[in-house]
Structure 1
């Protein structure tokens, strides 16, 4: 996903090594549990996303209809995103608010 650039502007100015260039970024969207599956279905319906892989939690609580979503990788055109459930015993590393307008 990351590559070292060979000919980078400024490298001739005495800097050591090349710059790291990202060829792709894979956003990981963390959704309040148990809405991860709903989010996946929404991305499929709204954006034509293709589900590439899915990992569900092997156990579920008695009140849950579906097991928690550990990760679902979705292909959106040339891009890829990952969706997962946020549980009570886990925390998201970063919390962002995203507003999309059309």
Structure 2
């Protein structure tokens, strides 16, 4: 057993330590922009940046938001459109 431990570099691996996590909020497309506006109004969130959908139409007045980074109470959150979500049923 001691011989096997020596070959593997010892017996116990050092523990893995996580120092940060970034929550990721997925909303139905194209509601990411609305979600960011809500968090700004409701919680005083600060927007750090946005990335826009690369396939947006040039004639669109408001481009589709792919994702946005916001900070709420010191926590960075990524808010993204969930383009894979099924479209809501018409009422």
Larger RCO (CA within 8 A; separation ≥ 6): 2
Runs (5+) with no aligned partner, structure 2: 1-9, 86-91
Counterpart Cα distance in 1 of 2:24 and 2:71: 12
* Residue equivalent to 1:4: none
Q: How does 1:11-90 map to 2 (within 5 A)?
A: 16-60=12-56, 66-87=62-83, 90=84
Question: TM-score with structure 1 length normalisation?
Answer: 0.62
Cα drift, residue 65 of structure 1: 5.1
Task: Find the residue that maps to 2:17 and give its secondary structure.
Answer: strand
Higher share in helix: 2
Which residue is 1:95 aligned to?
none
Runs of 4+ more than 3 Å apart? none
**Is this contact kept in 2: 1:60–1:66, CA < 8 A?**
no
Structure 1 spans left out of the alignment, 5+ residues = 1-13, 92-102
Q: Pairwise CA RMSD of aligned residues?
A: 2.4
Q: Structure 1's 29 and 15: CA in aligned 2 closer, same or farther, altered over 3 A? A: farther
